[in-house]
């Protein structure tokens, strides 16, 4: 019997995947969490780190977004099915904690990226999706690359090894909080992210934005006071993390 379970299982994707496969995103993620949490009901000695997503917070939540913002407003429409499944997992975990005495912490990461990510052109998150597109455009000597939206939204990103380090850090702590944000504390516009990606992949063409496509949430910076107060903070800068990720991509995917 395990002492700790880290529930990192999920069906995930970017704006297009979330908005296209809405039924699959809510059903598959509900099934994952129901199966895992129901299986430990009889074993309250098992500690559970339940990973969620910052998309659980309302569209109009005040930035930096604190854990108290949960269920205080409407969700961002393009990923609301996924968000609802993650919110349900938090409620299930809290129910087990209250009724059966489980020690459960719901850890809500910001946008993650890094080696072993999904670099599919249609169903990936923003960083791996952009990295694949910029790499292809560089290889093909394309004159330009087109990106959804205006480029104005601000996003916070966390390198995956920093999240792994945080989970290891938490395993050795006592958990008093039910819901804890985790991120880098830094944010970047999609436009500036694209410029960074252009430099890293050595793309020589132009970047064009398509404002007819959705931007998603205009800003999503997490309040990290709870996690930082425990003595943890991220250590990988965005530029350093992107370079590490692209090096891995070149060696393993390209």
136-156 confidence digits (pLDDT tens) = 999 999 999 999 899 999 999
**pLDDT, average across residues 243-253:** 97
pLDDT of residue 37: 97
DSSP 107-153: EEE-EEE-TT----TTTS-HHHHHHHHHHHHHHTT-SEEEEES-S--
Spot the catalytic one: 21, 43, 57, 82. Answer: 82
Per-residue pLDDT tens digits for 170-213: 998 988 889 999 999 999 999 999 999 999 999 999 999 999 99
The CATH fold assigned to 4-252 is Rossmann fold (3.40.50)
pLDDT band at 122 (very low <50, low <70, confident <90, very high): confident
Interval 59-87: pLDDT, tens = 999 999 999 999 999 999 989 999 999 99
The pLDDT, as a whole number, for residue 168 is 96
Whether residue 82 lies in the annotated active site? yes
Q: Which two tokens stand for residue 63?
A: 């930035």
| DSSP reduced 3-state for 20 | helix
List pLDDT tens digits, range 210-230: 999 988 788 899 999 999 999
**pLDDT at residue 113, rounded to an integer:** 97
Task: Please check the confidence at residue 125 and state whether its pLDDT lies above 90.
Answer: no
8 Å CB contact between 180 and 222: no
pLDDT value, residue 15: 81
Indicate the average pLDDT of the chain: 95
Rg from Cα positions in the chain? 19
Give the per-residue pLDDT at 221. 96
Q: What whole-number distance in Å separates Cα of residue 25 and Cα of residue 30? A: 8
Cis geometry, peptide bond prior to residue 64 (ω within 30 degrees of 0): yes
């Amino acid at each position: 019997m395990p002492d700790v379970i880290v529930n990192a299982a999920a069906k995930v994707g970017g704006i297009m995947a979330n908005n296209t496969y809405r039924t699959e995103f809510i059903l598959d993620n509900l099934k994952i969490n129901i199966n895992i949490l129901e299986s430990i009901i009889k074993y309250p000695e098992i500690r559970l780190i339940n990973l969620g997503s910052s998309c659980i917070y309302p569209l109009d939540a005040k930035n930096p977004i604190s854990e108290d913002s949960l269920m205080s407003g409407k969700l961002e429409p393009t990923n609301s099915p996924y968000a609802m499944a993650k919110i349900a997992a938090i409620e299930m975990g809290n129910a087990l904690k209250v009724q059966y005495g489980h020690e459960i912490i719901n850890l809500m990461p910001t946008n993650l990226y890094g080696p072993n990510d999904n670099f599919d052109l249609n169903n990936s998150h923003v960083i791996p999706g952009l990295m694949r597109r910029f790499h292809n455009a560089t290889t093909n000597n394309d004159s330009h690359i087109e990106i959804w939206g205006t480029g104005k939204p601000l996003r916070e990103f966390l390198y995956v090894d920093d999240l792994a380090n945080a989970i290891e850090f938490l395993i050795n702590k006592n958990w008093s909080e039910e819901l804890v944000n985790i991120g880098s504390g830094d944010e970047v516009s999609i436009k500036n992210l694209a410029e960074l990606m252009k430099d890293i992949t050595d793309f020589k063409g132009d970047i064009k934005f398509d404002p007819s496509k959705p931007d998603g949430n205009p800003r999503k910076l997490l309040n990290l006071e709870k996690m930082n107060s425990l003595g943890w903070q991220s250590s990988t800068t965005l530029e350093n993390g992107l370079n590490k990720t692209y090096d891995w991509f070149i060696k393993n995917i390209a």
